[in-house]
Structure 1
Amino acid sequence: MPLSRSTLSAGWLPDEHFGQLLIAAVVEQSAATSVGKPIKTGAERMYFPRLTSEAPADFVAEGADLPLGDPGLDDVAVIPAKVAGLTIVTSEAVEDASPEVSKVIGDSLVRAISAKIDQAFVGDLPAPAPKGIASLTNVTDVTGSTPDNLADLDVIADAIAAVQDEGGTPSHVLVSPGVAKHLAKLKTGTGSNQPLLGVDATKPTVRTAYGLPLVTVRALTDSALYVVDGSRIAVVLRQTASVEISRDRYFESDRVAVRARARVGFGFLHPETVAKVGVALA
């Protein structure tokens, strides 16, 4: 059922502004782009060179041969996949609304695309969706088959150390809404009302664990959280992200099609710097 004047409660943004609105809002709203490095490209795919092992080096005696060898080199290919949505609007809603009314439609499309990006980012969705964290086979599993009940933050400290042991710099803690709520209720001690999580003074709504911001991802379940090095995660966005308007397909019913689309892919350049913590909330 198309949107019409009677159901469209906000404005219609001029279509020449819509492409910029979409790409900016997706980058702002997506947890994936707040954690990883957003990279915009017009290419079909991107390759990220990766060093898998160091060149040899050792102490040598005077005149002795130097250690000879090459570093291990390969690359990670990222092919952005299309994520899109379609909304049908009556011509009357388009023509009679003020120039600012389409924010309702634009926001809805942006939220839907952002949610799908995050679902793919932390998940293991079937093709054509890009593969995410849950698809990685060589993450650092901190808890193994014994999930933690998160009575304190010790296991997060273990995950931070695990990322550092792999040469990474921990940057974010990814949690589900349920885990975020559980951690927010932890206190510094018995009988205390002081929360165990820290607060970023520059962003009062952001909770921190050992100085790392907690990023709530709705697509995550309560069974795991992750500590990651965001500098080693590439989020590749095609520059063709846009919202487009067409009157052709629904010409006979005098309706307008509004299509939003983006293309996104993920490159996990050092999967071992993703530390997984199994969780068992009481």
Structure 2
Amino acid sequence: MTLTTSNSHGIVVPDELGDLVIAAAARASVALRASVVVTTASREYRVPVLSGLPSSSFVAEGQELALNDAVIEELTIVPAKIGHVAPLSRELVRDSFNEGAPEIVATAQGIDIARKVDEAFFGADNPVANDGLQALTGVQEVDAGSVLNLDSFAAAQALSEDVGGTITSFVANPETALTLAQLKRSGDSNEPLLQASVDPTQPTARMILGSQLLVSPAVDADVIWAIPQLHSLVVVREDVETEVSTDVFFTSDRVAVKTTARLGWDWPHPSSIVKINLDVS
């Protein structure tokens, strides 16, 4: 939608708008909330991955210790560009004196970026961005059938812990999350089975066996992802840019505001991630 003074409040375009955009995206994106987020000034981000442990053993006094090398591989994450161009009327830009307007613009742009990031993160193959969880090989799986109790979540936690992971988030589709929220402790009880958060900064957060429940429409209805935050990385390039041009829409007397960011993701320990399969038929 083209913004004009008749359909929007005054908007300013400050130099720091790029930082506001990525901050808004971080709040709105489930992928970012479930992952460790790192920033880099480089074109790519390299992660050392320990794929083989050295072999230790007990030895008698004076005997030689076993000589073993750890097997270290490298995972390279290349952030991909995401962005858009928003046309604003020249009058709107000139009349922009609302102090809260930059945050309003940044929130709108950040929410859209967050939505597209989540779609790619929880999706499959992507020709431009990094591939999503659906394309990740090596994840463990639990067949839950219908969600009637929390046994499948306990199984997912156990599978991850068996390979050194700790599930910090379960991510579900809104319909699935509603089904979970409606579960009761017993047939004659109205007390919800899900736990309330004990974190005063997140009073509305829902917990499953100590792990937070996050909700995203980017997740398929027949899947719940069990994610250990330590082994889920999102890389953000530092140079989030917002630029203004008065040339591209010259004939309509509009100003183009272009926002670009670069984000990438990967999972250095795939087997610590568990895919819970649901029967939604």
> What is the TM-score normalised by the length of structure 1?
0.92
2-side partners of 1:17 and 1:44: how far apart?
22
2-side partners of 1:20 and 1:204: how far apart?
27
From 171, 176, 186, the counterpart of 2:173 = 176
CA distance 1:63–1:242, change in 2 (3 Å): same
What residue is the counterpart of 1:120 in the other structure? 120
1:220-278 CA-to-partner distances (Å, cap 9, x unmatched) read 01111011110111110011113222112222321101112110001211111101100
Return the letter of the residue paired with 2:160. V
Contact 1:13 1:103 (C-alpha < 8 Å) held by counterparts: no
1-side partners of 2:257 and 2:94: how far apart?
14
Which sections of structure 2, spanning at least 5 residues, go unmatched?
none
Contact 1:234 1:267 (C-alpha < 8 Å) held by counterparts: yes
Contact 1:11 1:103 (C-alpha < 8 Å) held by counterparts: no
1-side partners of 2:119 and 2:125: how far apart?
8
Return the letter of the residue paired with 1:137. T
Counterparts of 1:52-201 in structure 2 under 5 Å? 52-60=51-59, 66-100=65-99, 101=101, 103-143=103-143, 147-201=144-198
1-side partners of 2:12 and 2:186: how far apart?
52
1-side partners of 2:34 and 2:196: how far apart?
18
What residue is the counterpart of 2:276 in the other structure? 277
Return the letter of the residue paired with 1:12. I
- How far is 1:104 from its partner? 4.6
What residue is the counterpart of 1:262 in the other structure? 261
- How far is 1:49 from its partner? 0.3
1-side partners of 2:105 and 2:23: how far apart?
15
- How far is 1:103 from its partner? 4.9
What residue is the counterpart of 1:20 in the other structure? 19
- How far is 1:98 from its partner? 2.9
What residue is the counterpart of 2:33 in the other structure? 34
- How far is 1:148 from its partner? 1.8
Count of aligned pairs between the two proteins? 278
Return the letter of the residue paired with 2:116. K
2-side partners of 1:60 and 1:273: how far apart?
32
2-side partners of 1:22 and 1:122: how far apart?
21
2-side partners of 1:185 and 1:99: how far apart?
43
Contact 2:20 2:107 (C-alpha < 8 Å) held by counterparts: no
CA distance 1:68–1:97, change in 2 (3 Å): closer
2-side partners of 1:25 and 1:81: how far apart?
18
Q: CA RMSD, aligned part only?
A: 1.8
What residue is the counterpart of 1:247 in the other structure? 246
Contact 2:12 2:96 (C-alpha < 8 Å) held by counterparts: no
Return the letter of the residue paired with 1:132. G
Which sections of structure 1, spanning at least 5 residues, go unmatched?
none
Give SS of 1:178's match: helix
Contact 1:148 1:155 (C-alpha < 8 Å) held by counterparts: no
Contact 2:36 2:232 (C-alpha < 8 Å) held by counterparts: yes
2-side partners of 1:64 and 1:29: how far apart?
57
- How far is 1:65 from its partner? 5.0
Identity among equivalent pairs (%): 31
Give SS of 2:69's match: coil
Return the letter of the residue paired with 2:73. D
> What is the TM-score normalised by the length of structure 2?
0.93
Contact 2:197 2:207 (C-alpha < 8 Å) held by counterparts: yes
2-side partners of 1:198 and 1:102: how far apart?
37
Range 271-280 or range 247-256, more displaced: 247-256
Return the letter of the residue paired with 2:119. Q
Return the letter of the residue paired with 1:130. N
1-side partners of 2:61 and 2:13: how far apart?
74
2-side partners of 1:60 and 1:30: how far apart?
51
1:108-139 CA-to-partner distances (Å, cap 9, x unmatched) read 22111010111111112422111121111100
